[in-house]
Amino acid sequence: MRYAETGYNLEIDLSRGNIERVETDPRLTELHLGGQGTNAKILWDRVPPEVEPFSPDNLLIFSTGLLHGTPIVGANRTSVNSFSPQTNLFAHSLMGGYFGPELKHAGYDKIVIRGKAPDLVYLWIKNDKVEIRDATHLRGKGATETAVLIKEGLNEPKAQVAAIGLAGENRVYTASIEHGHSSAARGVGVIMGDKRLKAIAVRGTKDINIARPAELFETCLDLRKKIYKSPYVGDWMAVDEDDGFHHDNFAWGNARVRRRGYWSKELEDRWRNLKYDNMDRQIGCYNCPKKCINVISYSGRKRFGYKCYGKDTYHMAAFKELDFSYEILGVAQEYGLDSYSTPQIIAFAIELYEAGILTDKDLPGFPSDSGERSFYLLEKIVRREGIGDVLANGVYWAARQIGRGAEAYDHNTTKKFEQLPIKLGRLNPPYFLMIATGEKMAITQIEGSFPQDPLPTIEEREEFVRKWDAVPDEKFKKWFLEWEKREQISNEASCAITDWNEAMHYIDDSIGLCGFLSSFRGQFGGGAAYHINNIPHLISLATGMELDKDGLWEIFQRNRNLIRALNVRRGLRRKDEKPPEDHWAVRDHEFEQKLLDEYYKFKGWTNDGIPTQETLDKLGLDYVSEDFIKRGILTGSEGTSSQEQKDEELKSRGC
């Protein structure tokens, strides 16, 4: 009997209209857990680097996490993976809500989609009944409107729907997949649109087997109590408007202006009042007591929900206040647009216009007000009309297609993807490494276990580490106690901190845990309900697998190196690994390159950022090293580092 997982994937070939229920190999669960981990293995096996993102042979995979549908609180993040046309690299997106657990209750761990439908379709899954249905009547409909129409048409009000809007249909690179008030973005909505798949609707009523249900349930009750008692129940970036750090340090417009001193108590009060005057309620995701989504009904707009940066990015891009985000955010979500990247593209176009690179010929009837300009550009992008056809490809590609000096205004991309628009003073070395070397294209999917900045006094630092139970090794407490200035931290500590940050996210993304209960909460000392020290026991109770901290860390390293290998096989090299130039005011190129050298060595990679044969083989990824050698990516001279060095590196990571 399979525990925690169903043991079956749905294989959908949209070109042929074929549907298969495929039994999976339990050994893959032992090696990769689930979610993003097993998705990466499928993509390695079935999508070679010669396959272009818009090819019918590219896959789009929706995956439950290993712990979805169990009593474990906050296990609800669906992993959506493919290869992005914007980067030609691994596309990784997470979606909260109810979709993943519902899919598992329907009897499936994953939906693996290939091919392209002849015309627009949607997928209907109800337990053993799976159908590809006509969706041409939904063409041009908004994402939430589509979900409503599908549920009404099926007479299934409890179905969970993930859908694209007009942006996905028109293959806008920043298209998102919308599910309730959650989104899967960062390069996957465009693939869903390319496959002419308008939506997936799921209804499941099957039970999920647990290896040790009584013990797991009691453990989860205790964890729920801890979560309720935590001062961090609720995402402060969404629930509260006490957000001075982001508004004083993030870049307004297209990485142009840092509005230092902009935040004030008056502004905070005004925004909080605006929110509560227009808020229907605060909600959470499946099996989670946190209420980190604000649901807003504003000024005749469609009701929408937001958390994190969704409330900030559009008004920052337009140099407006929160009310502008409330004006535009619901419209953008209905179109199915990534609120992380799209506002930066809009601000980029405005900046080019102000610089004379784009003219009235490119933007006929362009308004003078920045808010009206944002709506104008939003419509152009989502329909790929005029200059919008270029802007729909993202800042990096648009800058190069426009030319005439536009490349100089590409302030904020790394590996061709828009990054968090932040402008700080001195570089934080672990953050340099995370942004430069991360495969996930968003710092919020990498950071969180170690604080961003030191605390000012030794007394505060001692109090912090006293309750810091998330650390994998006591050395992290020592480093934090000694840390006094952001930029003054050892390379050894920077490498290990980056590794730990990555570890927690890679684990969360395989088992389906929300980072706001796990990987993103380590930086708050005792605020993390889940961490490297208690997750192995939870996995064992749910699945019956014998797993300890060292074993879990090894799975993280296996998944991390496999995803690295996917990108290396598609051309990723050291030259691509650099954060935006103006993320920090003070830069030291020589120091940064030395730090990158040491991180690559720490990870067991070559000086070009390629995992060595020894690293790959030790993690059971010998099929990767064989492929690399065959392709000439690795040679014998690049293959190994000493065993003693590797053992020391594993020890330094807390294993």
Mean pLDDT of 269-278: 91
Least confident span in 53-62, 167-176, 451-460: 451-460
pLDDT digits (tens, 9 = 90+) for 488-522: 999 999 999 999 999 999 999 999 999 888 887 77
Q: What is the mean pLDDT of residues 631-638?
A: 82
Give the pLDDT mean for 557-584. Answer: 95
Task: Write down the pLDDT at residue 84.
Answer: 97
User: What is the reported pLDDT for 126?
Assistant: 98
Which burial class, exposed, middle or buried, applies to 369 when counting CB atoms under 10 A from its CB (0-12, 13-18, 19+)?
A: exposed
Residues whose CB is less than 8 angstroms from the CB of residue 495 and which lie 6 or more positions away in sequence, other chains included: 433, 598, 599, 602, 603
With bands split at pLDDT 50, 70 and 90, how would you rate the model's confidence at 251?
confident
Domain closes at, from 418, 440, 470? 418
Least confident of 9-18, 181-190, 255-264: 255-264
pLDDT at 234: 47
What pLDDT, on a 0 to 100 scale, did the predictor assign at position 650? 46
Asked which of 87-101, 230-244, 335-349 is least confident by mean pLDDT, the reply is 230-244
On whether both 153 and 257 belong to a single domain, the answer is no
pLDDT at 526 over 90: no
Q: Residue 525: which of 464, 598, 474, 586 has the closest Cα?
A: 464
> pLDDT tens, 85-132?
999 999 999 999 999 999 999 999 999 999 999 999 999 999 999 999
Whole-angstrom distance, CA of residue 220 vs CA of residue 287: 11
Residue type, 625: S
Residues 385 and 240 in one domain: yes
Mean of pLDDT over the chain? 92
Q: How far apart, in whole angstroms, are the C-alpha atoms of residue 164 and residue 436?
A: 30
108 is in which domain, residue-wise? Answer: 8-203
Question: Where does the pLDDT of residue 196 fall: very low under 50, low under 70, confident under 90, or very high at 90 and above?
Answer: very high
Tell me what the mean pLDDT of segment 335-360 comes to: 95
pLDDT at residue 630 is higher than 50: yes
In this predicted model, which residue has the larger pLDDT, 522 or 391?
A: 391
- pLDDT at site 143: 97
CB 427 within 8 A of CB 452: no
Q: Is there a domain that residue 2 lies in?
A: no
Give the pLDDT band of residue 35 (cuts 50, 70, 90). Answer: very high
Cα angle vertex 509, ends 518, 446, to 5°?
65
Residue 582's pLDDT is what?
83
Residue type for 253, please? G
- CATH code where residue 362 lies: 1.10.569.10
Q: Are 393 and 516 within one domain?
A: no
Whether 646 is in a domain gets the answer: yes
Average pLDDT of the residues in 312-325: 91
333 and 461 together in one domain: no
What's the pLDDT tens digit per position in 10-28?
A: 999 999 999 999 999 999 9
- Kindly state whether residues 477 and 503 are assigned to the same domain: yes
**Domain membership flag for residue 224:** no
How many domains does the structure of the chain reveal? 3
CA angle 241, 244, 246 (to 5 degrees): 95
What pLDDT score does 255 carry? 61
Residues 368 and 497 both lie in one domain: no
The mean pLDDT value for 213-231 works out to 85
For residues 565 and 624, is the Cβ–Cβ distance under 8 A? yes
221 is a domain residue: no
CATH label of the domain that carries residue 159: 3.60.9.10
User: Is 90 exceeded by the pLDDT of residue 160?
Assistant: yes
Q: Which of 203, 221, 238 is at the close of a domain?
A: 203
Query: Is there a single domain that holds both residue 371 and residue 497?
Result: no
Do residue 84 and residue 175 come from a single domain? Answer: yes
CATH at residue 454: 1.10.599.10
Q: What is each CA distance from 132 to 13, 93, 173, 206, in whole angstroms?
A: 10, 24, 25, 21
Among the residue ranges 235-239, 286-290, 431-435, the one predicted with the least confidence is 235-239
